[in-house]
A and B are shown apart, each in its own frame.
Chain A
Amino acid sequence: MPKITVDGKVIEAKDRQMVLQACLDAGVALPQYCYHPGLSIPASCRICLVEVEGIPKLVPSCQTPVRDGMVVYSKSSKAIANQKAVMEYLLINHPLDCPVCDQAGECYLQDYSYEYGRSQSRFEEDKQKKPKKDVGENILLYNDRCIMCTRCVRFTREVSGTSELYVDGRGSKEEIDIFPGKPLNNKLASNVVDLCPVGALLDKDFLFKQRVWLLKQAPSISPVDAGGENIFLEYNEGIIYRIKPRYNAEVNTWWISDDTRYSYKAVHSENRLTKPMRTQYGTQVETDYAGAIEHADSALKELVKTNGAGSTYAMLSPMMANEEAYLLATYIRSIDPQAVLVLGPTPSSGADEVFKNPANGKVTFTIKAEKVPNAAGIRRVIEKLGGPKATFEDFTKAESAELKKLKGGWIVGGYLSAWLPTEVPALFKKGLRIVQDILPTSLSGSCDVLLPAAAWAEKDGSWENFAGKIQPFLAAVPPPDGARREGDVYYKLLGRTGMYNAEDVRGEMGEPFAQIPLPDLETLAPAPEFIEL
């Protein structure tokens, strides 16, 4: 383990690590634009140059491997002079349009200008003006603001492997561009917006929607597939404005898919169910939430009384949190000890989408084929509780004696898009149907009791991804008026006091759920072990 001294502080580095990585790992801040731990190192921005004892010229810290006993100065007069010069050069042609720039507030150029730059520009000539370009379905490019760090170009070449972006020209005429008619539309494309250290690459979806310093972050998990990508929901005053990736070395590293990024739209859909309903004389009528819950409870109890044990089922949706599935299953089994637990439909796109780096063939990102986040978790909950269970296919066919006995049950939806399969199970058309869902379906329009539920962004819980990793997520916004979190409904049904608390429920559920730590908000994305040269 080589030891290096940075500005008088001794740091332990890993073998073959670069000076910049070692510093970042040890919490020593060095400025950086082009360097990104997930991409190759071009050492082109030159702001990270440091002075090293024994080397007459400044060296790029991102590209200089550590050596035992190395003495590094990042605040020597030479290093500071370089930082100032780089900032001045970058700002020569950079427009001063921070007030209308979406990146303002999370802009490296702003931060470093404050920290390392000058307060005034000495440049009196006209700034170069470069065009704005529409380069992809979700992405705008403001070439004026670009500082040519080429992070985005390297991303499309090394991570998505699609190479849509390129550098046009050279020198002061350099511009990022796409080949005419070949847009940046791959499934990982919007990651370039996160990568851009300045406001050059912009998300059309977020453009001019909100100033970033007003946004608050809630750690969450991607609801669109079984990969369990870690995300931040960024919200303000009860509205989610965007989703950003959250670093997790074991799951999604620095990236998320575009499906994940724009999944929040379903949360604020105009079609959200917000009116609890119950059937009276064959038609649905609006009711109050407490009444609907009571009605559901008494109807279920009545059903079991007349038809005996084993006449009810609960369809646990793979969109539910493990805690909610556990509570619902506990509730229905308290009424009917032989209730059948069914895992809801798990739509699949057929095959995983795998992204590779064409240079070395390494897999960089995988979008899972299973388009629900928690099928594995629900299976685990059903397994843990034991008793009668059925797959959705068997439930649809209803051939076994056990399933033929079913007279009614509790159906949870919660999917972000239409979920009822083309072949609707016979049990969804007759018998007692208590439905909890967020978006309207033919089932929600015909069921006996309708309880509008909460989307994943509106509640706490945990999901298990395809690899068996159970990850917690936290609520960002409250459910819309008239909808209630599933957990609260089950608490009421189970006669528990207080509000639904995911952590308490996890403790009650036992291993492996009890030991899941909440995401640590203080942990910044660390650099990987080392990047192979």
Chain B
Amino acid sequence: MAWIAEDRRQEQVTKGEPLLTEEMKSHLREKYFPRYPTKRAVLLPALHHVQHEYGWIPTQALQEIAEFLELAPAEVLDTASFYEEYWLKPKGKYLVQVCRSLSCEICDSRKLTDHVMKKYGIDVGETSADGRLTLVELECLGACGTAPVAGINDTLHEELTVEKLQQIIDGLPEDPHDYKDPTINFAEANGH
């Protein structure tokens, strides 16, 4: 790397069909604009909305959000890169989030991670070759009483064992939008 400088000026963002569609825009306009005093405040919901649609937030979409909310693209990227929950690189259809906080750690959460790593040949933060799973570890999911736990997309799975986790993964539907928590509908609760 020594004296080589990355040329950030020339980098081009590929332009295709708009990712932030008119439909998504009107949804944001109707649902979120009335809630806040400024357009800037709709940035987080807008990022969520795009991520929910595509699984991640492409750079082109960041630019479109900036235009839509009258912000500088750099300000949008500033916010999006601050939160780890926004994916600025493609991830798999399903995000397997294994808790690594104290209670889960004591109850062998590491075995869950190791199992997924070995079974799919991926490291933490990586996506399986078929693009189906992305494995991450995160801090407390707020279900210490039923440790070890893992979240798969918006759904929480408790009292896991390696076998149970594998069973759940095997039973995941092809389209992640069809995957719903039987008890709580997170998507509706979050307004998506």
Interface residues of A (CB under 8 A from B): 129, 131-137, 140, 157, 162-170, 177-183
Contacts and interface: CB of A to CB of B under 8 A. Distances in A.
Given A129-B1, A170-B82, A179 B6 contact: no
B12 A168 contact: no
Contacts of A132: 1, 3-6
Given A132-B1, A133-B7, A168-B78, 13 more contacts: A132-B3, A132-B6, A134-B8, A135-B8, A162-B72, A164-B72, A164-B74, A167-B81, A179-B62, A180-B59, A181-B12, A181-B13, A182-B73
Interface residues of B, number: 24
Nearest to A161: B72
Given A132-B5, A133-B5, A181 B11 contact: yes
B6 A182 contact: no
Contact of A169 (B12, B59, B74, B81): B81
B74 A133 contact: no
Nearest to B59: A180
Contacts of A135: 8-9
24 contacts: A129-B1, A133-B5, A133-B6, A133-B7, A134-B5, A134-B6, A135-B8, A136-B9, A163-B74, A163-B75, A164-B72, A164-B74, A166-B81, A168-B78, A170-B81, A170-B82, A177-B74, A178-B8, A179-B63, A179-B72, A179-B77, A181-B10, A181-B11, A182-B73
Given A132-B3, A132-B4, A183 B74 contact: no
Interface string B45-66: 0000000000000010011000
Interface in B64-108: 71-75, 77-78, 81-82
Nearest to A136: B9
A180 B72 contact: no
A178 B12 CA distance: 12
A169 B82 CA distance: 5
B1 A131 contact: yes
By CB atoms of chain A within 10 A, which of B5, B9, B10 has the most? B9
Contacts of B72: 162-164, 179
B136 to A, nearest CB: 16
Contacts of B4: 132
A168 B6 contact: no
Nearest to A183: B9
A168 B5 contact: no
Given A181-B9, A181-B10, A181-B12, A167 B3 contact: no
A134 B9 contact: yes
